[in-house]
Structure 1
Amino acid sequence: MTEFVLPLPATPSVAVAGSHERFAVRRIFCVGRNYAAHARELGNDERDPPFFFTKPADAVVDSGATIPYPPLTANLHHEIELVAAIGNAGFRIARDEALAHVWGYAVGIDLTRRDLQDQAKKAARPWD
């Protein structure tokens, strides 16, 4: 049996409405610049195609949880997001079969340290 120097973290998960079960979160895939009005608001060219990025699974917190305001941030943005929980794996899924892979939907709040993100973008660095 493998022994770990530090205890393993809990599996990130979200509550399932109307159930005592939880949905384990393995990966978070996000779509950027998919709303033209929001792209304009942030000073981006709305004609740029949407792009994909990820967030760590442990960024998920339960509804009603208190999130401390992050230090060194003066511009914390929040956005309401549609969350699609994928329950079945797939590859090159036909469009008419895509919904068979969706387990359910949720509403999420995406928080971004916009000032730190802007600094990183200007320096051509990734941000987290």
Structure 2
Amino acid sequence: MSFTAPKTQSPPTSQFTPRVAPVWKPRGRGKNNCYWYINETKILIDVLQEIAYDPAWKTDGGFRSNYLTEMYKRILSKMPNFSKQIFPHIESNIKWLKTKFNTINDMLKQSGCQWDNMEKKDSM
């Protein structure tokens, strides 16, 4: 007795085949790139400001340990559908924001440099 596999039919072909978008592959060393929307970044900055003004979380050198978990809880209370993780997403975005803040803060410390709110740029 011999066993034969059932024949499979190929799907019907038509002259209108849908175009498939190319598969997105993340760049860089990490497995996944995480993109932040503007509203997510604004909420992150708001929560950072809240924690900075909260004496329970502020210390002389910065924030108390485990402040990222508190930030995550506060972000979830403002945006329940927030899906990013504490490590590495929130942590890396805070590092990125810190570099931008330090650059702008150094520019503003220079003599004659002021921020123009109307044109959204620094004026000399």
Q: TM-score range by the shorter chain?
A: under 0.3
TM-score with structure 2 length normalisation?
0.22
Identify the structure with the greater strand proportion: 1
Identify the structure with the greater helix proportion: 2
Q: Which has the higher contact order (CA 8 A, sep 6+)?
A: 1
Structure with bigger gyration radius: 2
TM-score with structure 1 length normalisation?
0.21
